[in-house]
Amino acid sequence: MAQTPVLIVLAGGASSRMWPIREKSLLRFSTEPLLVSQLRRYQALGFEEAVVVANPENVNDIIGLTAQIRPMTVRVVVQAEPKGMGDALLQAAPALPNRPNTSIYVTQVHDVVDDQLHSDMLKAFQADAEASYIAGYEREDYFPGGYLIVSPSGRITGIIEKPGPDNKPSNLVSIVAHIHNDATRLMDALRAEYAKAITTDDHYERAMDRLMKDHPFRVVPYRGAWNALKYPWNVLDVMNYYLSKIQGQHVSESAYIAKTATLVGDVYIGERAKVFPGAAVVGPAYIGADTIVGNNALVRSSMVLNHCEVGFSTEVARSYVADHCSMHACRVLDSVFSPGVNFSAGCTTANLRIDRGTVASLVKGQKVDSGRDKLGAIIGADAFIAVDVMTMPGVKIGTRAQIGPGTHVHRDVLNGQRVYVKQETVVVDETEN
């Protein structure tokens, strides 16, 4: 049986499209950051060695996190500049074991899929280690990604980016879950591409194209879940994936559940969490350690991480709320809150367009359709939202922004901006009546 490939986890990509959400690798979808959670899953599947490609910003955190993973051997390398996936792999090369015919399994930290995909990839490789493998996500409808061109014999002859709905060469979309049976050969091909004077940063794709001519690449089809953290609202997709893994009711012994509180369905209640009288947690739902669900509050289909206060009469529905957020008598709907957000009494994240169309959001100046019927707000770390603020569907609010009382937030608010409304009032003295 072929040796298990060395896992390469790409975790150094820029997150600018995720603004105001920071650092995908470190996002927690239960007790552990995504990167740790992913590595543990790989380990359980039999991977023994991994190389994580970090960037200068997250490398220290990543080193700290990967130190926890045992017994897997995890090395961390840094990609100094965002020069594409080929460059990332070249940074990983020196960290690979010095064995002949080392095979590698290239994955991205922010692709969240079922274990089935990875085990099918491993099985295919172990059955025939002479080939390389690419996961092909089967879907009928068109998706603007890379499509696999597959010969009748099952060999992949090329990948075509965004062919358009009428020119799909197959129903197989490429996921970055690639087994290369000879890392050295791949690295050589990559170096050759970087030596060329081509300015596009698709070196990895070009290298694969060349390799496919001489070496067999085979498809491993996949029909399970695939959630990628590309846009900030994808946090909700990944959250839902993790929520779907909660089975039954787990209530920590140190948690307090009031007699008139209600837990429904699949629910996780963390250490020292408190669910107060009249409150309800409706699964699938995750309540983190030291979080309080106040009197008559409702949390449903959501994650509220640690040290949060879900205050009196607050509703958190289909939302992701990170650590140390404070909410009070408000409505958090289909939204993503970074750590430390204060969302005051009377606030609402409006989540539905009047015309009931899908909600769009600006990403790096471009309007992007989220494809979601319901989408609330995406709020950055330590933002302070004063009383009676409403945010329009799809709006984003930056880190440390401050929104004054009664403001209707129709547009994105940048990091650190203060927005407030000046209301004109009329004052009449009694004597004038």
Residues near its own copies (CB under 8 A) are 258, 260, 262, 264, 276-278, 280, 282, 295-296, 298, 312-313, 315, 317, 328-329, 331, 333, 344-346, 348, 350, 352, 354, 384, 386-388, 390, 392, 400, 402, 404-408, 413-431, 433
How many residues are listed for the chain in this entry? Answer: 433
Q: Which residues contact 417 (CB under 8 A, 6 or more apart)?
A: 398, 401, 402
Least separation in angstroms between residue 150's CB and its own copies is 47
Nearer to its own copies, 1 or 427 (CB): 427
Q: Residue 392, CB half-sphere, CA atoms under 13 Å: how many? A: 14
d(CA 129, CA 193): 25
Least separation in angstroms between residue 352's CB and its own copies is 8
Least separation in angstroms between residue 313's CB and its own copies is 6
- Contact between 381 and 400 (Cβ < 8 Å): yes
- Kind of pairing, strands 280-282 and 226-228? unpaired
Nearer to its own copies, 361 or 407 (CB): 407
Least separation in angstroms between residue 236's CB and its own copies is 19
Query: In what side-by-side order are the strands of the sheet with 331-333?
Result: 262-264, 280-282, 298-300, 315-317, 331-333, 348-349, 390-391, 408-409
Least separation in angstroms between residue 406's CB and its own copies is 5
Least separation in angstroms between residue 26's CB and its own copies is 24
Supply φ then ψ for residue 261, to 5 degrees: -85, 160
Q: What is each CA distance from 365 to 17, 73, 255, 411, in whole angstroms?
A: 10, 41, 44, 12
Nearer to its own copies, 192 or 421 (CB): 421
d(CA 191, CA 204): 10
Name the residue with tokens 């105001």: 20
Nearer to its own copies, 32 or 382 (CB): 382
Least separation in angstroms between residue 198's CB and its own copies is 40
d(CA 394, CA 409): 10
Nearer to its own copies, 14 or 420 (CB): 420
Cross-strand partners of 104: 6, 180
d(CA 238, CA 409): 26
Nearer to its own copies, 16 or 431 (CB): 431
318 DSSP 8-state letter: S
Least separation in angstroms between residue 260's CB and its own copies is 5
CB atoms within 10 A of CB 143: 15
Nearer to its own copies, 48 or 388 (CB): 388
Nearer to its own copies, 253 or 424 (CB): 424
Please give the single-letter amino acid code of residue 278.
G
